[in-house]
Amino acid sequence: MELPYRWLNEPAHWQGDARVLTLRTDARTDFWRETFYGFVRDSGHAFLRPVTGDFTASATVTGGYEQLYDQAGLMLRIDEANWIKCGIEYTDGLMHFSVVVTRGVSDWSVVPLPDVGPTDPLFVRLTRHGDAVRVQFRFGEAHWQLARLCPFAADDAEVGVMACSPEREGFEATFRDIAVGPPIERNLHAE
């Protein structure tokens, strides 16, 4: 039986389901805790379902990335102080693959994507093996690229897709084939 998804901070404008979901962000939405900026934001949009144990979550993401910090991708969330978000984020005039890991405070890592445009679909997946999470991405038929391997509690959580636009409203994102299933092979170097 497919578990139900629910909205955390439901956007005013959205349609679809886990097969194809489109949304337009509300004004100044974000997920962040403390580090560097000194503020806490928990207003981003996330379409989540319960998850326990080991799993792999994946989705295909496209968006109208135009303004600073426009972002869309996957989210794994235990509560407001313990979560991971990963996907495309627009910063410094360029799309980046971005991962924020939050365990009380947020940390942020980015991979510049100078040859990727906003219409190029991002394939993103997040795998939990016990108390470790692996974040990977690819474009087209390229091999999966490891973006992050980090410790993270193996507690019951929720997983799904998220989108934010900290500097504006109206960022549009589309998610296709949102899926949660058994974890991929544990070998970090296997395809």
Does pLDDT of 74 surpass 80?
yes
CATH topology of domain 6-181: Jelly Rolls (2.60.120)
Provide the b/e sequence for 132-170 (b: ≥16 CB within 10 Å): ebbbbbbeeeeeeeebbeeebebeebbbbbbbbbbebee
Share of the chain above pLDDT 70, in %: 98
- Angle, alpha carbons 35-114-118 (nearest 5°): 85
Could you read off the pLDDT of 84-103 as tens digits, one per residue? 999 999 999 999 999 999 99
**Where does the pLDDT of residue 2 fall: very low under 50, low under 70, confident under 90, or very high at 90 and above?**
low
Does pLDDT of 106 surpass 80?
yes
**Where does the pLDDT of residue 129 fall: very low under 50, low under 70, confident under 90, or very high at 90 and above?**
very high
Asked whether 95 and 113 are in contact (CB, 8 A), the reply is yes
Beta-bridge mates of residue 22: 15, 174
Residue 109, classified by CB atoms within 10 Å of its CB into exposed (0-12), middle (13-18) or buried (19+), is: middle
Asked whether 6 and 48 are in contact (CB, 8 A), the reply is yes
Tokens of 17: 């389901």
Please name the amino acid found at residue 120. Answer: D
Domain residue spans of the chain: 6-181
Please name the amino acid found at residue 25. Answer: T
Longest pairwise C-alpha distance within the chain:
43
Measured on CA atoms in the order 144, 150, 153, 154, is the torsion positive or negative? positive
**Where does the pLDDT of residue 63 fall: very low under 50, low under 70, confident under 90, or very high at 90 and above?**
very high
C-alpha distances (whole Å) from 189 to each of 54, 144, 145, 185 are 18, 9, 10, 9
Q: What is the mean pLDDT of residues 140-168?
A: 96
pLDDT in the model for residue 191? 64
